[in-house]
Structure 1
Amino acid sequence: MEDSIDEYLDDANLSIPDMIKKYDVLMTNGEKKKPKHNFRCVNELHCRVSGNCSITVETRRHCSSCRIKKCFAVGMRKESIRSEQEKFMKRLQLNKTRRSRCPEKTIEVPALMSLGNSSIVMILSPTDRTHINNVTHCYDQFSGEPSSSTYCSTPEVLYLRIDEFFNRKKPIFINFISYFKHLPELQTLHVDDQVSLIKQNIRLLIPLNYAILKTPISSKFRSTYIQTVGCINNINLHHMFQSLSNSFVDFVTYDPIMIKLLMIILFFTTNPLTTRSIYDAAQYKQLDNIKQIQSSYTELLWLYMLEKCGEQNAIILFTRMITKYLYLQIIIDGIDSIIRMNNDIHKIDSLIQSFLQLT
């Protein structure tokens, strides 16, 4: 029957009544693949031409409005289109199923090279080493754990609304942003570009920051238990963020400098893979400069990893870190959807709302 539908799509002159008469009321290719529009967005679709575009296998992606109209015309039900909530829950279930089939293996950290090994190749220049030391010092100075007066942990379970949950994180956000603002490279950029980079990337990098903060045995983040209340389907946002940060702990345990350099590289990303970023891309005034800064830090990290663990292990570690971060962006995109469906977001601190791209 799929061949019959494809035959129809190849014949743009075949009318809807003729198709229904010839093939009965069936699903189009678009329906079988579950269109990615939620119904709220379907009502906002508009044809850019005449409102009666030719929809074939080759042209079906050219006009979403006419494509969805044709799907409805041949009998597709509105109920077949998943809402944003349903799509997110489906993605969570699929990810959970994939993880159960392919249990994640603990990262096998390559053995450290002995300083007495004469085969060690010194790759980093004195300038590179100074640069790395400055980055480490800057992070430790500005992005450490908040003081006990602004952030306190408790062995008891805390039940927090979404606004209480994020307002509690404000000291972490402030310290983390302060670290990036003290990077000399960021200070060279136009202030609008600085703001755009912070707004687009800071919430994506928070889990990596937590991975560093929670690694010391004495960290207060190891004894914090939180349950968010009021979220759709009783989803615990704290658990989701905790799982994301835990996925980077092995890298931090092996060498925190790698993650600190990686965070800078990712901070200077101008097109993260989130729905909001894709459809509301920031206009950067010094895009070439940003790319140049990112490239220089990428080279610095690569040279550091080559000297630290050799080319083969460097490739493996770098690939794993980037893969983890791509997955993190997918989950954060889902968390964004959960946050926007909550009734308490107006109570979130205005600064945090900006970081969460709610304003």
Structure 2
Amino acid sequence: MDKLSSKTKRQSTTVASKCKICGAPATYSYYGVISCRPCKIFFKRNAKREQESLKCDLNGHCQISLLNRHICSYCRLKKCFSSGMQVDMFRSSYSKQHKTIRTNEESKNSIETQSTALVTFRQPEQFPTLNLLQSDQSTLSVEQWNHLSNLSHCYDEHSGISSAVHYMEEQNNLPIKFRFKCEPLKRFISGLMDRAQLLYKNNQDFLSLIDDDRSILLHNTIKHVRGLSSHFIYRQIQLINNPVCFQSLELIFGQKTIATAKRVDDLLNFDAIIMKLLLAILAFSTTDYTVYSNINQNNLKNIKKVLHFQHVYIDLAWRYLLYKYNHRQAVICFSNVLRCLLMLHNTIVLAYEVQQYTDVINPLFNRPNKYFV
């Protein structure tokens, strides 16, 4: 019965789709992207190589498909990265030992070491809480890695990062005096914030909640999820650091708001996976964020289920931090995340004092359920 339950649970993380690299049938997300197993293996083998060491006969313009994916390693690796595959999601492997000719004494020491390892292996398993205090890279299960990979893919697919990159390319191709005009910039920001609801719609944990609880969480958390997701994208495309764009943003949102937003941008220097996990944690937050809205707070009907998902994502974030860093660095990173959230909240408060910002955001807030219809 347990095996059947485990198998069903594992199958729930699969997604029937096509490989983003070559178009072959794919069911799993590897390293942040839905991909087939051959492309997964190819990326694993080649991602840490210098791409300059590879060569393309067509100057990097090959169209990678199922039929020709093996022909040009340069363009295939390039497409892996452009599709969103991340080296950071590799699981560390034990370093290969150098092959040496062992003497009788070395063999004896080896046997004694193995005996000690067996004794250690047979000791009672530690409590999970104690395991979390160690930089144990094995604490993430296969199920958790799949959960993490699917969550990362969801953000890359639905956050609007690709359209944001396209917007920056369009603006930079314009003459300087026509770049980042206020009205087009407001439409871009509005569209980016509107897409934040897709992060809820494509989260299977969120969709498993009853309608009333989804509605309450959506109304209470959408401002902060929108704000954090947008800031993350602004940082990736260097929007606030663009001098011309910075001036237009000050005209729209005011100097105080943009100065605070710049500090948030400076704080968003932690791992991208942690950023995506933080958005998921915020989506299930039960903190009252309705101080600056007219929505009445209602009691969640299945608070236990919401708290369960809070625990799942916070536990996943902490385990990933320990996988990525040592315990001390994990604590520092977690502290920086909290500082970022407090600064983000301050930015939202200041922004709501500016009429032009409310003109942008209020139409979105009045239709928060459109993606769930």
* 1:247 Cα deviation from its structure 2 partner: 1.9
String of CA shifts for 1:306-329, please: whole Å, max 9, x gaps. 122122221221122113212321
* 1:293 Cα deviation from its structure 2 partner: 0.7
Tell me how far apart the structure 2 counterparts of residues 174 and 120 of structure 1 sit (CA, whole Å).
Answer: 39
Q: CA distance change for structure 1 residues 115 and 352 in 2, over 3 Å: closer, same or farther?
A: same
Counterpart for residue 225 of structure 2: 205
Tell me how far apart the structure 2 counterparts of residues 327 and 345 of structure 1 sit (CA, whole Å).
Answer: 19
Q: 1:154 aligns with which of 171, 177, 181?
A: 171
SS where residue 153 of structure 2 aligns? Answer: helix
Q: 1:190 aligns with which of 210, 213, 230?
A: 210
Is residue 131 of structure 1 aligned with residue 147 of structure 2?
yes
Aligned amino acid, residue 185 of structure 1 = D
* 1:172 Cα deviation from its structure 2 partner: 0.9
Counterpart for residue 332 of structure 1: 348
String of CA shifts for 1:203-252, please: whole Å, max 9, x gaps. 22334323442455x66776444234376xx546445434323321x11x
* 1:352 Cα deviation from its structure 2 partner: 4.5
Tell me how far apart the structure 1 counterparts of residues 92 and 357 of structure 2 sit (CA, whole Å).
Answer: 54
Tell me how far apart the structure 1 counterparts of residues 318 and 154 of structure 2 sit (CA, whole Å).
Answer: 20
String of CA shifts for 1:18-50, please: whole Å, max 9, x gaps. xxxxxxxxxxxxxxxxxxxxxxxxxxxxxxxxx
Tell me how far apart the structure 2 counterparts of residues 199 and 149 of structure 1 sit (CA, whole Å).
Answer: 28
* 1:303 Cα deviation from its structure 2 partner: 1.1
- The 8 Å contact of residues 260 and 346 in structure 2, kept in 1 or not, is answered as no
Q: Residues 256-267 of structure 1 correspond to what in structure 2 (within 5 A)? A: 256-267=272-283
TM-score, normalisation: structure 1: 0.54
Query: Unpaired segments of 5 or more residues in structure 1?
Result: 1-111
- The 8 Å contact of residues 247 and 324 in structure 1, kept in 2 or not, is answered as yes
* 1:147 Cα deviation from its structure 2 partner: 2.9
Q: 2:363 aligns with which of 343, 350, 353?
A: 350
- The 8 Å contact of residues 152 and 273 in structure 2, kept in 1 or not, is answered as yes
Is residue 303 of structure 1 aligned with residue 325 of structure 2?
no
- The 8 Å contact of residues 199 and 354 in structure 1, kept in 2 or not, is answered as no
Counterpart for residue 181 of structure 1: 201
Is residue 227 of structure 1 aligned with residue 244 of structure 2?
no
- The 8 Å contact of residues 218 and 283 in structure 2, kept in 1 or not, is answered as yes
Tell me how far apart the structure 1 counterparts of residues 199 and 91 of structure 2 sit (CA, whole Å).
Answer: 31
Tell me how far apart the structure 2 counterparts of residues 309 and 117 of structure 1 sit (CA, whole Å).
Answer: 18
SS where residue 300 of structure 2 aligns? Answer: coil
String of CA shifts for 1:108-142, please: whole Å, max 9, x gaps. xxxx9975559964211111111111111111111
SS where residue 334 of structure 2 aligns? Answer: helix
* 1:286 Cα deviation from its structure 2 partner: 2.5
Counterpart for residue 246 of structure 1: 266
Q: Matched residue pairs, number?
A: 232
**Percent identity, aligned pairs only?**
21
Q: CA distance change for structure 1 residues 114 and 291 in 2, over 3 Å: closer, same or farther?
A: closer
Counterpart for residue 269 of structure 1: 285
* 1:270 Cα deviation from its structure 2 partner: 1.8
Tell me how far apart the structure 2 counterparts of residues 305 and 149 of structure 1 sit (CA, whole Å).
Answer: 28
Aligned amino acid, residue 146 of structure 2 = T
Higher RCO (CA-CA < 8 Å; seq separation 6+): 1
Tell me how far apart the structure 2 counterparts of residues 149 and 196 of structure 1 sit (CA, whole Å).
Answer: 32
* 1:276 Cα deviation from its structure 2 partner: 2.9
* 1:298 Cα deviation from its structure 2 partner: 0.5
Superposition RMSD on alpha carbons, in Å? 3.7
Is residue 323 of structure 1 aligned with residue 313 of structure 2?
no
Tell me how far apart the structure 1 counterparts of residues 298 and 250 of structure 2 sit (CA, whole Å).
Answer: 31
Tell me how far apart the structure 2 counterparts of residues 318 and 190 of structure 1 sit (CA, whole Å).
Answer: 31
Tell me how far apart the structure 2 counterparts of residues 128 and 327 of structure 1 sit (CA, whole Å).
Answer: 30
Tell me how far apart the structure 2 counterparts of residues 318 and 128 of structure 1 sit (CA, whole Å).
Answer: 19
Tell me how far apart the structure 1 counterparts of residues 223 and 192 of structure 2 sit (CA, whole Å).
Answer: 11
- The 8 Å contact of residues 213 and 221 in structure 1, kept in 2 or not, is answered as no
